[in-house]
Amino acid sequence: MEPMRQEADEELLIRLRRGDEAAFLALYRKRQGALYRFALQMSGSAGTAEDITQEVFLTLLRGECGFNPERGTLSGYLFGIARKLALRQMERGRVDVALDSDAEELTLPELAVNDDPLADLTHREGIEALRRAVTALPRRYREVVVLCDLEELDYADAAAALGCPIGTVRSRLHRARALLLEKLNKERPKQAMGALKPARCEI
Partner 1 sequence: MNCAEFWNQMPELASGANPEHNHAAECPACAALLERQRRLASGLRTMAGDMRSVGAPPRLESNLLEAFRSQLAPAAPRPMRARWTPVFSWAAAVAAVIA
Q: Does 203 bind partner 1 (CB under 8 A)?
A: yes
Binding mask 66-105 for partner 1 (x = CB under 8 A): ----------------------------------------
Torsion of CA 167, 170, 173, 179, to 10 degrees: -70
DSSP 15-40: HHHTT-HHHHHHHHHHHHHHHHHHHH
Query: Please, are residues 41 and 135 in contact by the beta-carbon 8 Å criterion?
Result: yes
Distance CA 147, CA 141 (A): 10
Binding mask 152-181 for partner 1 (x = CB under 8 A): x-----------------x--xx--x--xx
- Interface with partner 1 (CB under 8 A), residue from 126, 136, 142, 159: 126
For 81, phi then psi, to 5°, come to -65, -45
Query: Which spans of this chain sit near partner 1 (rule: CB under 8 A)?
Result: 16-17, 19, 21, 24-25, 28-29, 32-33, 35-37, 40, 49-50, 53-54, 57-58, 61-62, 118-119, 121-122, 126-127, 130-131, 134, 145, 149-152, 170, 173-174, 177, 180-181, 184, 196, 199-203
